[in-house]
Structure 1
């Protein structure tokens, strides 16, 4: 579903090029969940942006659903994102002028894959039944994050990318949201890549990799570390 092949990425600074990714290899299979851990500044968000085609590697190749992202023009990358990707961020990025149900439908409509039965199921599973006409500012933080997850999964994307999806939530709410995320990803048949610094978030996922010094290493054993 997602493959990084010897991916390099650097950024220009006044002191010269700053290498962020230095030959990253990564494979995420269809239906699999993967945590990518690393300290702040280790390049986790850079890797996520490359996976989404929001940025391009300096060298190496990123493949999404078998397609080399760097070979696509920006309109084609945008189309691939709409059709194949769901994105969940630490900030909710909900549309304040849209109510719950319209926020939920937004991504599916853009992808041309709105399904009324799946939307209704999402509303129920997200715990938002009865709140369909409320606006984001009228929801709690946990409700807003659940809505953001539901919006990303509404078109049943092949791959869901999540960047610190529980970072703004208290521990109890974060556990509830993470469990819901995993259950809905399974129901949607999506693969899941979660970028996090938290062993607690990584623990329930199928595999765990650590990004350090521009490379990824197997960190599956860290899944059992205490939070």
Structure 2
């Protein structure tokens, strides 16, 4: 579903180029869930943006399905995002002028694949049934995060990218939201790449990789490498 081959990314700074990703290799199969961990500023969000085609790598290859993202112009990448990728952000990014129902339908409508029965099921499973006519400001933080999850899953994307999706929630609510997210991801049949700083959030996923010094390693291997270098 998603493949990164020897991906490099650097940003210009007053002190010169700052390397963030230095030869990253990653493969995510259809239906697989993967947690991406790492220290703040390690490049986790950058990797997520490259996977979504929101930014392009300096070198290497990022493939989404059959598409090499570097060969697509921005309109084609945007179309591919609408059709194949769901995005969940830590800050929710709900549209304040739209009701709960219209926020949930938004991504599916943009992709031209709205399924009213699936939208209704999502509302029920997310505990938002009966709140369809409310606006985001009338919801709790947990309800807003569940709505953001529903919006991303409404088009049944092939790939779901989630950036700290429970980072703004208390521990109990975060656990409930995560369990529900994983259930709905399995039902939708999509692959999941989730950025998180929490080992508890990463634990239920199929795999966990840690981004350190611009490269990826399995979590245990990363800890061993850090200990060896200490």
Task: Determine if the TM-score, normalized by the shorter chain, exceeds 0.5.
Answer: yes
Q: Name the TM tier (shorter chain).
A: over 0.9
C-alpha distance in 1, partners of 2:3/2:204?
22
How far off is 1:218 after superposition? 1.0
Q: 1:133-182 CA deviation, whole Å, 9 max, x = no partner?
A: 11000000000000000000000000000000000000000000000100
For residues 74-118 of structure 1, give each alpha carbon's deviation from its aligned partner in whole angstroms, at most 9, with x where no partner exists: 000000000000000100100001111000000000000000110
Aligned pair 1:72/2:79, yes or no? no
For 2:214 and 2:221, how far apart are their aligned partners in 1?
20
Aligned to 1:151: 151
Residue 66 of structure 1: how far off its partner (Å) = 2.0
Distance 1:119 1:160 in 2: 17
Could you tell me how far apart the structure 2 residues matched to 1:79 and 1:33 are? 24
In structure 1, C-alpha distance between the alignment counterparts of 2:204 and 2:221, rounded to whole Å: 12
Q: Are the equivalent residues in 2 in contact too, given 1:36–1:195 (CA < 8 A)? A: yes
Residue segments in structure 1 that go unaligned for 5+ positions in a row: 223-227
CA pair 83-172 structure 1, distance change in 2 beyond 3 A = same
Counting matched residue pairs gives: 222
5 Å-filtered alignment, 1:73-152, equals 73-152=73-152
Instruction: Give me the whole-angstrom Cα distance separating, in 2, the residues matched to 1:17 and 1:82.
Output: 32
Q: Could you report, residue by residue, the CA deviation over 1:35-72 in whole angstroms, capped at 9, with x for unpaired residues?
A: 00001000000000000000000000000012100100
Query: RMSD of the TM alignment (CA)?
Result: 1.0
Task: Say if 1:207 and 1:220, in contact at 8 Å, map to a contact too.
Answer: no
CA drift of 1:219 comes to 1.5
Unaligned ranges ≥5, structure 2: 223-230
Runs of 4 or more consecutive aligned structure 1 residues displaced over 4 Å after TM superposition:
none
Q: Is the 8 A contact 1:158 1:190 kept in 2?
A: yes
The alignment partner of 1:130 has SS state of: coil
Deviation at 1:220, TM superposition (A): 6.0
Q: Is the 8 A contact 1:8 1:24 kept in 2?
A: yes
- Deviation, 1:33, is 0.2
1:1-16 superposed matches below 5 A: 1-16=1-16
Describe the SS at the equivalent of 1:93.
Answer: coil
